[in-house]
Amino acid sequence: MTPKELDILVLFLDCAEDYNNLCTLDNKKCVAEALGFKDKNTLNNYIKKLKEKNVFIAKKGVYILNKLLNPNNGDVQVSISWR
């Protein structure tokens, strides 16, 4: 993820009351205001990128957080190796 995408993810987690429906209108307003986005399409483009990277998962008409990234699931350790 890019640094901006990471910032947006953190803001969604801060704004959301429930990680099972992250992209509510209220959450999107909260994130857009925090970042100073005036055009809603700017945030929608980032949401699309997060969906393409499987950070947000579309399920039954809502976006949920990937289980590996959910802070309520306890500790998750990820190892990355470069070749």
Mean pLDDT by 10 residues, the chain (83 residues): 91 89 92 91 93 92 85 68 79
Alpha carbon 74 to chain centroid, angstroms: 18
Residue 33 within a domain: yes
Residue 80 lies in a domain: no
- The reported pLDDT for the residue numbered 41 is 87
Q: Could you tell me if residue 78 is inside a domain?
A: no
Per DSSP, the three-state class of 59 is strand
> Does residue 56 fall inside a structural domain?
yes
Q: Is 26 exposed, middle or buried (0-12, 13-18, 19+ CB in 10 A)?
A: exposed
Q: How many domains does the chain have?
A: 1
Helices vs. strands in the chain: H and E counts, helices first: 3, 2
Residue 81 C-beta-side C-alpha neighbours within 13 Å: 1
**Domain of residue 23, residue span:** 3-73
CATH code assigned at 38: 1.10.10
Q: How far apart are CA 11 and CA 27, in angstroms?
A: 9
